[in-house]
Amino acid sequence: MRRRPRTSLSPGQLRRVVGIGACLVVIAILWVIFAPRMGVYSLLHQRSTLARLRVENIEIEEKNGFLQKEIEQIKNDPEYFEKIARDKYGLLKENEMVFEFTPSKKEKKK
């Protein structure tokens, strides 16, 4: 097997090789940045989504704790249970009547 003697590239060929190499590097960088589901842009978007979901999770846990305390209070405090039943659901005791007095139109104008 014979080896060919190495020849250097002409300035035009060198410019082409450098141009093609630069284009490939730019394409590779763009792929790393914008690749679907694994690029830098996607990673940043997923991190912001994760942060938002963590905040929502904390809010839901706090609300859950508040509701759990309210459930315990309703189970253990008959007066609170009655207050909720009357205020929220408009329930009445047996033989109890509600009278609502609304001001007349003349009284509202004053």
Q: CA 39, 43, 46 angle in degrees (round to 5)?
A: 140
Residue 88 domain flag: yes
Query: What's the burial of 58, exposed, middle or buried (CB within 10 Å: 0-12/13-18/19+)?
Result: exposed
Enclosing domain of residue 53 = 16-93
Residue 34 domain flag: yes
Provide the number of structural domains found in the chain. 1
pLDDT band at 50 (very low <50, low <70, confident <90, very high): very high
Residue 100 domain flag: no
Q: Is a pLDDT exceeding 70 seen at residue 109?
A: no
Query: What's the burial of 22, exposed, middle or buried (CB within 10 Å: 0-12/13-18/19+)?
Result: exposed
- How far apart are the C-alpha atoms of 60 and 14, rounded to whole Å? 63
- Whether pTM > 0.85 for this model: the answer is no
Residue 102 domain flag: no
Residue 105 domain flag: no
Residue 71 domain flag: yes
